[in-house]
């Protein structure tokens, strides 16, 4: 179980980030002169969910508007709105388009901050940089690396709120929960291995599998689904409640599965519980990753994996870790099937299957 060992090694890295790494975040925030919003959050196709998380976190903690774009769309459609003094935050990997976005934004006079595990690629292209540490034994593009990107995006917003806004009791609560996140992650990995295997076995026959979350849990759902699709050969779809209701609910049936990410402090919890009830009425197998005070959602699903009650920002990181782990386990060894109303395999693959039949 690669995810099991990777997540076990992630907890101390997160702890290090909140202790020894904090001055790097403060330096990056203070090193930029933050003009009036919007802030631009830009990612590659792979890192876009982390950029979405940064957008949610900045809007929640600082009440600043954030424009979130994939690098190609940023270059094609949003670059013209960037002005001198705009702040552009890149959640960067080795994607050439992200490097191109950094260069183009800098040429327009923007102040560019890079969050990356590949610092050499951004050298000379950004004013400030936060370098992500590696997770021992874990691939950079795996679940642990994704959790670290999302955590860095959220932690940047938290530190920025501390530095740039007046003291707020709410930030004290978020920061307290954030400091406890590594211990909660370590405990969850050590205690939930059997539960994850059992739930994954229940989900494995289900096609398609949906991962549903709102707000910060939305970015976690999308990233967990993308990682799970790489683990297996089955359709796994990450959606927020609106996407599920308008674009996918009609496809849900007895052969479907759904994992709901939420928490009792989430503003989306009531709507998510209502959606879970509709999914249940359609005969799908539904599970929840949430805390024990999220009673409405727990009543509408078959199984609940109980998480600690945390503020939405740290809870979404824990949710990403466990949803990615669970969905990755469920995706393995599942036969590829057609997703109702949408192709779950390429035309070439479909032709080969027909020939074999």
Taking only the tens place, the pLDDT of each residue in 251-308 is 999 999 999 999 999 999 999 999 999 999 999 999 999 999 999 999 999 999 999 9
Assess whether pLDDT exceeds 50 at residue 106. yes
What's the pLDDT at 110? 94
Beta bridge partners of 92: 116
Contact indicator for 92, 118 with CB cutoff of 8 Å: yes
Where does the pLDDT of residue 339 fall: very low under 50, low under 70, confident under 90, or very high at 90 and above? very low
The domain made up of 192-331 has a fold known as: Rossmann fold (3.40.50)
Beta bridge partners of 305: 289
Identify the CATH class of 2-168: alpha beta
Proportion of the chain above pLDDT 70, given as a percent: 93
The phi, psi pair for 305, rounded to 5°, reads -95, 110
Token pair recorded at residue 117: 């595990």
What residues does CATH 3.40.50.10490 cover in the chain?
A: 2-168, 192-331
Mean pLDDT, rounded, of the chain: 90
- Binning the chain into helix, strand and coil, the percentages to the nearest 5 are 55, 15, 30
Assess whether pLDDT exceeds 90 at residue 67. yes
Calculate mean pLDDT across residues 315-326.
97
Where does the pLDDT of residue 354 fall: very low under 50, low under 70, confident under 90, or very high at 90 and above? very low
User: Which residue in this structure is represented by tokens 């903690």?
Assistant: 61
What's the pLDDT at 18? 82
Where does the pLDDT of residue 333 fall: very low under 50, low under 70, confident under 90, or very high at 90 and above? low
């Amino acid at each position: 179980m690669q995810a099991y060992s990777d997540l076990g090694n992630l907890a101390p890295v997160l702890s290090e980030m909140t202790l020894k790494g904090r001055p790097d975040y403060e330096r990056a925030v203070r090193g930029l002169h933050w003009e009036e919003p919007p802030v631009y959050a830009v990612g590659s196709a792979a890192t876009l969910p982390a950029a979405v998380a940064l957008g949610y976190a900045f809007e929640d903690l600082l009440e600043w508007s954030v424009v979130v774009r994939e690098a190609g769309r940023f270059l094609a459609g949003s670059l013209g709105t960037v002005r001198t003094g705009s702040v552009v935050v890149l959640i960067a990997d080795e994607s050439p388009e992200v490097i191109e976005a950094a260069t183009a934004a800098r040429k327009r006079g923007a102040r560019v901050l890079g969050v990356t595990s590949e610092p050499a690629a951004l050298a000379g292209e950004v004013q400030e940089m936060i370098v992500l540490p590696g997770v021992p034994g874990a691939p950079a593009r795996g679940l642990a690396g994704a959790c670290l990107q999302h955590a860095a995006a959220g932690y940047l917003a938290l530190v920025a709120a501390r530095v740039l806004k007046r003291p707020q009791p709410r930030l004290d609560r978020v920061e307290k929960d954030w400091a406890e996140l590594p211990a909660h992650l370590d405990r969850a990995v050590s205690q939930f291995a059997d539960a994850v295997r059992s739930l994954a076995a229940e989900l494995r026959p289900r096609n398609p599998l949906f991962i549903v979350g709102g707000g910060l849990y939305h970015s976690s759902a999308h990233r967990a689904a993308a990682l799970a699709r790489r683990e297996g050969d089955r359709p796994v779809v990450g959606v927020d409640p609106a996407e599920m209701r308008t674009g996918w609910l009609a496809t849900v049936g007895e052969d479907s599965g759904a994992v709901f990410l939420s928490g009792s402090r989430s503003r989306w919890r009531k709507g998510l519980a209502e959606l879970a009830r509709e999914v249940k009425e359609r005969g799908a197998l539904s599970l929840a990753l949430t805390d024990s005070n999220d009673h409405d959602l727990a009543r509408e699903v078959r199984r609940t994996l109980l998480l600690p009650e945390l503020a939405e920002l740290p809870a979404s990181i824990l949710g990403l870790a466990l949803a990615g782990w669970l969905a990755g386990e469920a995706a393995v060894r599942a036969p590829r099937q057609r997703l109702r109303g949408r192709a779950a395999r390429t035309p070439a693959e479909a032709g080969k299957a027909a020939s074999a039949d």
